Amino acid sequence: MIDLHGKRAIVTGAASGIGRATAALLAELGAAVVLADRDTDRGEQAAKETGGAFVRCDVSQRADCERVVRTAVDLHGGVDVLFNNAGIIRRSTVCDIRDDDWDLVMAVNVRSIMLLSGLVVPLMAANGGGSIVNTGSGWGIRGGGRAVSYCASKGAVVNMTRAMAIDHGPDNIRVNCVCPGDTGMLAEEARQLGESPDAFYADAADRPLGRIGQPRDIAQTVAFLASDAATFVSGAIIAVDGAGTA
């Protein structure tokens, strides 16, 4: 049902977690993949494993995003799938967050989508369409404690997805959002808050399906949205969270 042969994809945040799993699955299903991340060592290893091409990229910087898209065009002739997955979290309240942390979270989680999508949409439109998938969060649908910048950024991603789907639907560009049930950065969150990682993992597993989501769980949803099996799915906000938000 899902066949991505002939598709040309860009995956950001591809050196680890959801991005790495998605790059691997898209390649497994036949897509030509360009992997983008700031982590050169792990990014190059992921590219080697998938047979894709790696580009070191700070997704908050236009020049880096331009280099990623240029690589996809030079190697594969265009872009059919863009997975805006790169993300960062800083745990704090509105009272104690630092200005530079707020700006960083917004730059990586929100500005990056604007930059890369703005570069890719004209290519997709000229080629007859494409699929953009943004990584939101369960905290983009409902609030979460001590994560004000992250919640704000992921709420923005959710509504950006809807706006982009409206704007670019006439060019046959589908835009959707996957909302994982946990960030995939639980150990780092525990460190930021000075709490036990074990408690974070136990809390993340406290959902009807009784387990923490795995990167491949999200990757499979992204692959569906990237494929021709989802040709009438656009503007959707899909919680992939074991019924956590339910």
Which residues does the annotation mark as catalytic? 150
Determine how β-strand 81-84 pairs with β-strand 130-135.
parallel
Query: Could you report how far apart the first and last alpha carbons of the chain are, in Å?
Result: 28
Judged by DSSP in three states, 84 sits in strand
DSSP character string of 28-39? HTT-EEEEEES-
134/198 Cα distance (integer angstroms): 29
182/185 Cα distance (integer angstroms): 8
* Helix, strand, coil % over all residues of the chain, rounded to 5: 50, 15, 35
> Cβ distance 204 to 182 under 8 Å?
yes
> Cβ distance 66 to 42 under 8 Å?
no
